[in-house]
Amino acid sequence: MPREFSRSQRMAEQIRRELAEIVRDELKDPRMGLCSFTAVKLSRDLSHAVVYCTVLDEALREGTLETLNHATGFIRSQIASRIRARTVPVLKFINDDSVERGEAMEALISKAIKSDRQHHDDNESSS
């Protein structure tokens, strides 16, 4: 029976879960804002990981990403003690702006629907 998920997908999800716990419980830095890890992309050899995170407070975004990237050694050591893997990937944290882009798209769609309804109502009233 074939596996549903590849090893890299399973490891990426495990790393994402562990990151959330480590940042919540272990990382104590005043520059850290509230962040959510949306995805982890692993290289084919599992040696590098790009971690996409969304920082909820826009004012703290740069400080949070800087803190996370500065603390990669500590975070990697914490991950190594929590998961069974031959190697723990080198981490790189980047901002995931997909939530903001989604909100902007939703606003545009709502605006278009409202405009379409208004145009439709104007055409019916003139007939």
Q: How confident is the model at residue 8 (pLDDT cuts 50, 70, 90)?
A: confident
16 pLDDT higher than 90: yes
Could you count the other beta carbons within 10 Å of the beta carbon of residue 34?
12
Q: pLDDT tens-digit profile of 60-78?
A: 888 999 999 999 999 999 9
Q: Is the pLDDT of residue 123 over 60?
A: yes
Fold classified for 7-96: GMP Synthetase; Chain A, domain 3 (3.30.300)
pTM of the model: 0.75
The closest of 57, 67, 62, 17 to 35, measured between CA atoms, is 57
| Model pLDDT for residues 21-45, shown as the tens digit of each residue | 999 898 888 888 888 999 999 998 9
Confidence of residue 1 (pLDDT cuts 50, 70, 90): very low
- If you compute the radius of gyration of the chain from its CA atoms, what whole number of angstroms results? 21
What pLDDT is recorded for position 127?
Answer: 60
Question: Domain residues of the chain, as ranges?
Answer: 7-96, 97-127
